[in-house]
Amino acid sequence: MTNIVEPSEKPSAEQPIEFFAAAKKVTDLAKSRETWPVAEVAALFELPFNDLMWRAQQVHRANWDANEVELATLLSIKTGGCPENCGYCPQSAHYDTGVKAEKMMAVDEVVAAAQAAKESGATRFCMGAAWRAPKDRDIEAVEEMVKAVKALGLETCATLGMLKDEQAKRLASAGLDYYNHNLDTAPEFYGEIITTRDYQDRLDTLGHVREAGLKVCCGGIVGMGESRMQRAGLIAQLANLNPYPDSVPINHLVAVEGTPLEFVRTIAVARITMPKARVRLSAGRRQLGEGVQALCYLAGANSIFYGDKLLVTGNPEVEEDRALLDRMGIHSRQG
């Protein structure tokens, strides 16, 4: 059963009486829920936009500081040449995207990048590698990176592809906090975007990660040609993981023109179905613009990937992010 943080017993100046009562009602309803059927998630997507946003805000404020955001930085420690054929990924060796395969970065280079991220205000540092699955010698190198980044006082996250159980345990022993492995989309649409591995492969890796004691970072992508029902299917898959992910990154596909308000709806539905997860704005933020990003924060997003580049994709400049957060009165999480 999902654990929900209770609202405080007395409303504060930030939570007027009428809001407090509504937020507590939503929290009480969520406490009695064990699973989210796809049909019920789809029903959330069909709500009038204002009603969906109101409901998402109630859940968000019952569980989080409504004006705080986590700043996370993602570094590609090994770029390009991935043997997987994910249709959305410019790092796949199956496509000519201009992204060249590179060797893994040295530990000192990674530490320098992590230090710069910390000085810019990031509290979580994620290291990504374009592998189908790491070899044991790769894990050894990443272990050293994790230890060095942890020594800076940052939370650590890695996304390295599929993991075996022993590899997950090694990363946990090195001090890794989070492991990212996205489901990408609903099971019934998965074969349309990748054929070199199946959905169960992803679920198996998530199981190894959780069994090793690592926190799970797992989300998906909006804008790959999926239907609204398939977006609901993705959120239901995430929400019904036991437990649901600690972090849920939602990506907006850069290569495909999407519907910005549908992206906001996805953020809101993720917040409602996974109240205690950090819902992260990830790839594609630059294309959304400030107005849509502001709606995403209102819908319950409370984490962003922060920096000039996200793997090989452009990301809003640090100064632009800071300016928008300042105008909205949103402060960054302190480490």
Question: Does 27 map to a domain?
Answer: no
Nearest to 212 by CA among 248, 243, 166, 181: 166
The active-site residue, picked from 55, 202, 210, 280, is 280
Catalytic residue (choose from 157, 210, 218, 285): 157
Lowest mean pLDDT among 118-127, 183-192, 236-245, 280-289: 280-289
Is the pLDDT at 196 greater than 70, yes or no?
yes
What would the mean pLDDT of 314-331 be, rounded to a whole number? Answer: 80
The values of phi and psi at residue 109, to 5°, are -70, -40
Domain assignment present for 304: yes
Q: Give domain status of residue 210, yes or no.
A: yes
Residue 4 resides in a domain: no
| Number of compact structural domains in the chain | 1
296 catalytic per annotation: no
Task: Give the residue among 293, 307, 300, 258 at the shortest CA–CA distance from 279.
Answer: 300
**Coil, strand or helix at 112:** helix
Q: Which of 55, 61, 86, 170 is catalytic?
A: 86
- Arithmetic mean of pLDDT over the chain: 83
Q: Does residue 218 carry a catalytic annotation?
A: no
Query: Is 71 within 8 Å of 93 (Cβ atoms)?
Result: no
Q: Which of 217, 218, 271, 285 is catalytic?
A: 217
Model pLDDT for residues 148-173, shown as the tens digit of each residue: 999 999 999 999 989 999 999 999 99
Exposure letters 108-134 (e unless 16+ CB within 10 A, then b): eebbebbeebbebbbbbbbbbbbbebb
Residue with token string 């970072």: 217
Q: What is the pLDDT of residue 188?
A: 93
Q: What mean pLDDT do residues 250-269 have? A: 80
- For residue 57, being part of any structural domain is answered with no
- pLDDT the model gives residue 316: 54
Percent of the chain with pLDDT strictly greater than 90: 55
Nearest to 281 by CA among 176, 271, 149, 82: 271
* From 126, 170, 231, 296, the catalytic residue: 126
User: Can you tell me the mean pLDDT for 225-249?
Assistant: 95
Residue 217 appears among annotated catalytic residues: yes
Buried b (16+ CB within 10 A) or exposed e, 225-234: ebeeebbbbb
The pLDDT score that the predictor gives to residue 87 is: 47
Q: Is 126 a catalytic residue?
A: yes
- What is the extent of the structural domain holding 155? 63-332
The CATH number of the domain holding residue 198 is 3.20.20.70
Q: What six digits make up the tokens of 133?
A: 């699955």
On whether residue 75 sits in a domain, the answer given is yes
The answer to whether residue 141 scores a pLDDT higher than 90 is yes
Question: What are 12-43's pLDDT values in tens digits?
Answer: 444 444 544 554 555 555 544 679 999 999 99
DSSP structural state of residue 56: H
Residues 279 and 301: their CA atoms lie apart, in Å, by 5
Q: Is the pLDDT of residue 194 over 90?
A: no
81 in any annotated domain: yes
Is the residue at 160 inside a domain? yes
CA distance linking residue 312 with residue 285, whole number of Å: 14
Its sign, for the CA torsion 124, 88, 224, 307, is positive
